Structure 1
Amino acid sequence: MTNEAVIVGSYQTPYVKKPTETTLYFILKSIGGLLNKYGISPTSVDGLGVSSFLMGPDNTTTIAEQSGICAKWTHQGSAGGAAHVAGVLDAQQAIINGRAETVVISAADSYSVAVHNKLMNDFNSSMRDYIAPHGFGGTNGLFAMLQRKHMAEYGTTREQMGKLSIVQRENAVHNENALLRTPLTIDDYLSCRQIAEPIGLYDCVMPCGGGESTLLMSKTKAESLGLPYVEILAGDYRSNYGGDQFLLMSGAWAEFQSEMFSRAQISHSDVDVVGLYDDYPIMEIIQLEGLGFSPQGEGGRFIEDADISVTGDLPINTGGGQLSCGQTGAGGGAIALTEVLMQMNGEVEAERQVPNPELGVVSGFGMIGFGKGTGQSAMILKKG
């Protein structure tokens, strides 16, 4: 007989610009904060997953040692910004299959602009050996090509992408943990410094330090402890989707979203809140298309017409996302899930609380390989 697995909640450390603390500090801070929040002893946790670009020479096993967890199931994320959602889905299966009963999935890094730039040149062998030697401009250069192609083929405009940055900044104004909280206007967005044309300053994330952790357990245990929980209705992930393409104009979401929504037994119009991986606004548009909220190529017009504010028809990245909060390395793949869970559990500031969110969609994207992100993930959540 299988066990139903649920998500109890999440914890986010304070975000730090130019951090002096180590990545290990942020990982352990997020795990400890999560367990304290829900009154769980480390000794009662029997599953652990960690995603990080910078935790080496440590790994999930040594993180278990440092945090006092004896784990009989472990997971180490390898898909960058898609890894945390994928790790939560794998933890769900571990609980269902009896491999663990209480699992923590963590994602964190001690990130800065300098650390990010150094990491990009040695991110993997493809980038190190074939792209970085030619002065590729980091991820900004790669996504500039993607954005230019999307604009040329589909008529997507900078004003449409600017709406995402502006509305998310409006959300961040009310998020005490966001590092960028000064409101933006469309004139600010359009006239800002160009980084890699057509990508400007407000299309880019600010690297920072921080960590996120998510707590899962069997539904039976959560109920016995009197803890609130969120159900995982469906989810999926892929690695190396579209491996024959250099610039990936879609993603694996397009391959599995229909089945995912069918398994969840909901329609897109039922969704109350969405958390997208937002390293650049263009990737939010591509995710909305891939997830089926908009037809391929019409994501820009969808954003232009939709009300994506916290009181709108489809609230997106209600905490400000990475574009306003900052990108904590691999933790950037967890911030969207953390925010949606906090929304469902009523833990955010009143000014950015979505009214009675019952259903949410979260997606992840990452691990830049030879010119594109090679990992995509997504899940549908329901408040228990």
Structure 2
Amino acid sequence: MAKSDIGIAGYGRTAYEKRTTRTLFSFFAEAGDAALASARLAFSDIDGLAISSFELPPDNAVTSAEQLGLSVSWAYLGTAGSAGPVASIINAKHAIESGQATTVLCIAGDNYDVGGHFTLMDNFNRSLRNYGSPLGFGGANGLFGIIQRKHMETYGTRREDLGRISVDQRRSAQRNEQALLRGPLTIDDYLNARVIADPLRLYDCVLPCAGAEAVIVTTLDRAPADKAVRIVSGYERHNHPRMEVAPLRGGWETFADKLYADAGYGPKDFDFAQLYDDYPIMVAIQLEDLGFCKKGEVSQFLADNSFSWDGSLPLNTGGGQLSCGQAGIAGGMLSVTEAVCQLRGEATGRQVEKARRGLVAGYGMVAYGHGLSASTVILEAA
């Protein structure tokens, strides 16, 4: 089977909720049903399940298959935080290539609110539980505030340039009915918002919420002929750089060259990018590590471009997590479903003109002083 013969046949989303009384599996089922309908496939066609969720334990991929009523020949549990959903697509593709499955439901979701997010972070892993939380590390905001300050002092990165990410993504979100935050946002609003963890302010931070996202990975001959999306290339990397607190780079730099070599094209050839946006500074670091600009030059790159759906580099065209909300680990799949929506020409009101090629990146699993996991896929309209 040729590597180019596998792709995404359909996608599904739930509405995001700031507070919910719904069960986690009700979100999974709704997103999965929507993905199947989009793929024009039946429930019985699924023989693989990849699932990513912070709230899932003590359940796992196998017990999730039981609860969803699936009998599968391949099961995958995401362990890389919000890099996991993108990694699940890479691994689903490998499973299909090796004959372990034919049609894989890749799903990601969580059902907590702001308070639940804080509780999660305090017990996220042993390094945070034993060494971060007892010392009042400030959660993710505290950690990424340090990273942004370090980037600013190392490279002269300007807050007004980072703010372009939040402001332009909000402009896209105003055309996305599923975004929780759709009010107008100016650069002055961004710069003058209340401090959360200096230098981070309110509009640098995501809103924790509940919801789920899903895609169907299968061979292109099973996908709707006019809607198929090819998986061109994809890689993941974990614990890079090693033993460095508050690094200004991530695993993307280790595989960017081979990612583009596989595809036969690079950063200047993409019609849009969907990058993991828990904070604008991490979007900036991804732009550097993935070769959209040189390391340390992202501030000028941001100043020279526009990033809304009709900008010079459409970025997180549905609004990203900064405007849609962060439904836990579903934030790592939000970028995928938005990319598929764009490549199928279904992003009504925010459709990127002639969108044919897109890049999607994930990031996650915060540990002692840094995030551990990076993942990226290149997708194109088939």
Q: How does 1:213-224 map to 2 (within 5 A)?
A: 213-222=214-223
Who is 1:84 aligned against?
Answer: 85
Note if 1:7 corresponds to 2:5: no
Note if 1:337 corresponds to 2:336: yes
Q: How does 1:258-277 map to 2 (within 5 A)?
A: 258-277=257-276
Range with bigger deviation, 6-15 or 197-206: 6-15
Who is 1:279 aligned against?
Answer: 278
Who is 1:97 aligned against?
Answer: 98
* 8 Å Cα contact 2:9-2:38 kept in structure 1: no
What is the rounded CA distance, in whole Å, between the counterparts of 2:112 and 2:321 in structure 1? 13
The amino acid across from 1:62 in the alignment is T
TM-score under structure 2 normalisation?
Answer: 0.97
* 8 Å Cα contact 1:43-1:68 kept in structure 2: no
Q: Which digits, 9 at most, give the CA deviation of each residue in 1:177-233, with x for residues without a partner?
A: 0000001011111111100000000000000110000111112322xx646211111
The amino acid across from 2:144 in the alignment is F
Q: CA deviation at 1:241?
A: 1.1
Secondary structure (helix, strand or coil) at the match of 1:17 reads coil
| Matched residues, number | 381
Who is 1:170 aligned against?
Answer: 171
Give ranges in structure 2 of 5+ residues lacking alignment: none
Secondary structure (helix, strand or coil) at the match of 1:261 reads helix
The amino acid across from 2:187 in the alignment is I
**Residue among 363, 369, 372 paired with 1:371:** 369
Q: How does 1:179-194 map to 2 (within 5 A)?
A: 179-194=180-195
Who is 2:358 aligned against?
Answer: 360
Q: CA deviation at 1:244?
A: 1.6
Secondary structure (helix, strand or coil) at the match of 1:168 reads helix
Q: CA deviation at 1:256?
A: 0.7
Who is 2:45 aligned against?
Answer: 44
What is the rounded CA distance, in whole Å, between the counterparts of 1:348 and 1:220 in structure 2? 24
Who is 2:134 aligned against?
Answer: 133
Who is 1:233 aligned against?
Answer: 232
What is the rounded CA distance, in whole Å, between the counterparts of 1:192 and 1:307 in structure 2? 22
Question: In 2 relative to 1, CA 220–36 (structure 1 residues): closer, same or farther, beyond 3 Å?
Answer: closer
* 8 Å Cα contact 2:9-2:222 kept in structure 1: no
Q: Which digits, 9 at most, give the CA deviation of each residue in 1:281-331, with x for residues without a partner?
A: 000000000100010011121111112222222100010000000000010
Note if 1:289 corresponds to 2:252: no
What is the rounded CA distance, in whole Å, between the counterparts of 1:123 and 1:188 in structure 2? 32
* 8 Å Cα contact 2:118-2:139 kept in structure 1: yes
Q: CA deviation at 1:40?
A: 2.1
* 8 Å Cα contact 2:362-2:375 kept in structure 1: yes
What is the rounded CA distance, in whole Å, between the counterparts of 2:282 and 2:112 in structure 1? 21
Note if 1:21 corresponds to 2:22: yes
What is the rounded CA distance, in whole Å, between the counterparts of 2:308 and 2:17 in structure 1? 26
Who is 2:324 aligned against?
Answer: 325
TM-score under structure 1 normalisation?
Answer: 0.97
What is the rounded CA distance, in whole Å, between the counterparts of 1:310 and 1:30 in structure 2? 24
What is the rounded CA distance, in whole Å, between the counterparts of 2:6 and 2:97 in structure 1? 6
* 8 Å Cα contact 1:8-1:227 kept in structure 2: no
* 8 Å Cα contact 1:31-1:67 kept in structure 2: no
Note if 1:312 corresponds to 2:311: yes
Secondary structure (helix, strand or coil) at the match of 1:309 reads coil
The amino acid across from 1:327 in the alignment is Q
What is the rounded CA distance, in whole Å, between the counterparts of 2:39 and 2:167 in structure 1? 34
Q: CA deviation at 1:7?
A: 1.0
The amino acid across from 1:362 in the alignment is V
Range with bigger deviation, 27-36 or 206-215: 27-36
Q: How does 1:295-306 map to 2 (within 5 A)?
A: 295-306=294-305
What is the rounded CA distance, in whole Å, between the counterparts of 2:34 and 2:210 in structure 1? 16
What is the rounded CA distance, in whole Å, between the counterparts of 1:44 and 1:308 in structure 2? 38
The amino acid across from 1:359 in the alignment is R
What is the rounded CA distance, in whole Å, between the counterparts of 1:185 and 1:19 in structure 2? 30
* 8 Å Cα contact 2:10-2:38 kept in structure 1: no
Q: CA deviation at 1:88?
A: 0.1
Give ranges in structure 1 of 5+ residues lacking alignment: none
Secondary structure (helix, strand or coil) at the match of 1:334 reads helix
The amino acid across from 2:190 in the alignment is Y
Question: In 2 relative to 1, CA 367–20 (structure 1 residues): closer, same or farther, beyond 3 Å?
Answer: same
Secondary structure (helix, strand or coil) at the match of 2:354 reads coil
What is the rounded CA distance, in whole Å, between the counterparts of 2:197 and 2:8 in structure 1? 39
Q: CA RMSD for the aligned pairs?
A: 1.2
What is the rounded CA distance, in whole Å, between the counterparts of 2:108 and 2:247 in structure 1? 25
* 8 Å Cα contact 1:2-1:98 kept in structure 2: no
Q: CA deviation at 1:62?
A: 1.8
Q: CA deviation at 1:24?
A: 2.0
* 8 Å Cα contact 2:36-2:42 kept in structure 1: yes
Q: CA deviation at 1:255?
A: 1.2
What is the rounded CA distance, in whole Å, between the counterparts of 1:220 and 1:189 in structure 2? 46
* 8 Å Cα contact 2:168-2:306 kept in structure 1: no
Secondary structure (helix, strand or coil) at the match of 1:166 reads helix
* 8 Å Cα contact 1:140-1:196 kept in structure 2: yes
Who is 2:381 aligned against?
Answer: 383
The amino acid across from 1:182 in the alignment is G
* 8 Å Cα contact 1:42-1:68 kept in structure 2: no
Who is 2:255 aligned against?
Answer: 256
Secondary structure (helix, strand or coil) at the match of 2:70 reads coil
* 8 Å Cα contact 1:42-1:67 kept in structure 2: no
